[in-house]
Amino acid sequence: MPHLLDIRQLDDSAIEQLLARSAELSSGAACHRRSGTIANLFCEPSTRTRVSFEMAARRLGLEVVNIDQAASSVSKGESLTDMARTLAAMGIGAIVLRHPDDFAAERLAATLPANGPAIINAGDGIHAHPSQALLDAATLAESGVDFAQMKVAIVGDLRHSRVARSDIELFSRLGVAEIRIAGPASLLPEPHPWPQVTRMNNLDAAIDGVDIIICLRIQRERIDAQAYPDGEAFHRDWGLTEQRAARLPEHVRILHPGPVNRGIEIADQVADSPRSLILEQVRIGVHLRTALFEWLMPA
């Protein structure tokens, strides 16, 4: 069974196929039915990703089991591999895994036999969140963006963001014209890992002339309490405030993978404004994940 571990493993035709199929489903095309059972194994909190994978699976006719890590035998010391083998023995065809450790999905997939369950990385540490990047690209494509012309700024906590890493990987593959990142030095990756990305140390300069702004939440759960920035100061210096949004040209659109910390990385009024595609990302996420199950699971 194939896996979805990160964007790098996808060839160009798979990316094209997934985005095209997501667009078809979003316009009302019928799902290609599948049979079997998938498991959601979330070892970190989630609303959007867990629920949308569940909805996508049910739309295809798949059964879903949601495993609460705290109530599972992982909490008694069972390894993820033994857990996955146990689920496979019951006939589980795919495991959607969210995990706090970088490369957890890749490590798990490497321990399973070729006929074992598909592993879908639903976010692992700061490493990757491939389905989020795909749904971000699907949302942009549906909003009419031409990737070859698109200038995007990704702002906020890049250092701890798996979404930013997967977005940058995918946007680069899609031939996006310009990618900028901006945030306080303490929240940018060091050393700068992406030669194709411009790092900026001022938000106003970073968003000047772009078409798309992606705001990121400060990943409180991955930062020492003492190092967590002051929310008010962060909003003033690095937040998409109403004043900043008012200066943007009409066509500029704003994305945020969620969950949103209103009043910190983005003002209430901006998150709820017509330029915000935040809920469109959530809507399209269900279609993109439906396309993913169709692609991963045999008919």
Least distance (Å) from ligand CP to the CB of residue 124?
Answer: 11
Closest residue by Cα to residue 47 from 38, 39, 55: 55
* 262 makes contact with ligand CP (CB under 6 A): no
Given 40, 46, 166, 276, the residue binding ligand CP (CB under 6 A): 46
Question: Of 74-82, 104-112, 235-243, 252-260, which segment contacts ligand CP by CB under 6 A?
Answer: 252-260
Q: Does 100 bind ligand CP (CB under 6 A)?
A: no
Q: Which is nearer to ligand CP, 61 or 259 (CB)?
A: 259
Nearest distance in Å: CB 68, ligand CP: 15
**Residue 105 carries which side chain, given as an amino acid letter?**
A
CA distances from 182 to 73, 200, 269 (A): 42, 5, 22
Q: 130 or 258: whose CB is closer to ligand CP?
A: 258
Which part of the chain contacts ligand CP (CB under 6 A), choosing from 107-115, 150-158, 231-239, 253-261? 253-261
Q: Which listed residue (1, 9, 17, 48) binds ligand CP by CB under 6 A? A: 48
Shortest reach from residue 163's CB to ligand CP, in Å? 7
CB within 8 A of 143, min separation 6: which ones?
253, 277, 280
Query: How many chain residues bind ligand CP (CB under 6 A)?
Result: 9
The kind and range of the H/E element at 92 are strand 92-99
Alpha-carbon span 227 to 237, nearest angstrom = 17
Shortest distance (Å) from residue 116 CB to ligand CP: 25
The single residue listed with the structure tokens 């990302």 is 281
Count of CB atoms within 10 A of residue 168's CB?
A: 23
The DSSP annotation for 145-170 comes to --TTT-EEEEES--TT-HHHHHHHHH
CB 265 within 8 A of CB 107: no
Query: Quick one: 48 or 262, whose CB is closer to ligand CP?
Result: 48
47 counts as binding ligand CP under rule CB under 6 A: yes
Residue 91 found at the interface with ligand CP (CB under 6 A): no
Contact status: 123 vs ligand CP (CB under 6 A): yes
Q: Is the Cβ–Cβ distance between 148 and 177 less than 8 Å?
A: yes
Determine, following the binding rule CB under 6 A, whether residue 166 of this chain makes contact with ligand CP: no
CB 121 within 8 A of CB 100: no
Segment lying near ligand CP (by CB under 6 A), choices 47-55, 200-208, 221-229, 264-272: 47-55
Among 257, 287, 292, 297, binds ligand CP (CB under 6 A): 257
**Minimum CB–partner distance for residue 256 and ligand CP (Å):** 9
CB 126 within 8 A of CB 190: no
AA identity, residue 199? R
* Interacting residues of 200 by C-beta distance below 8 A, sequence separation 6+: 153, 180, 181, 182, 206
Figure out which of the listed residues 132, 161, 166, 261 binds ligand CP, where binding follows CB under 6 A: 132
Angle at 94 between CA 93 and CA 99, to 5 degrees: 150
Figure out which of the listed residues 22, 49, 121, 166 binds ligand CP, where binding follows CB under 6 A.
49
Binding interface with ligand CP (CB under 6 A): 46-49, 123, 132, 257-259
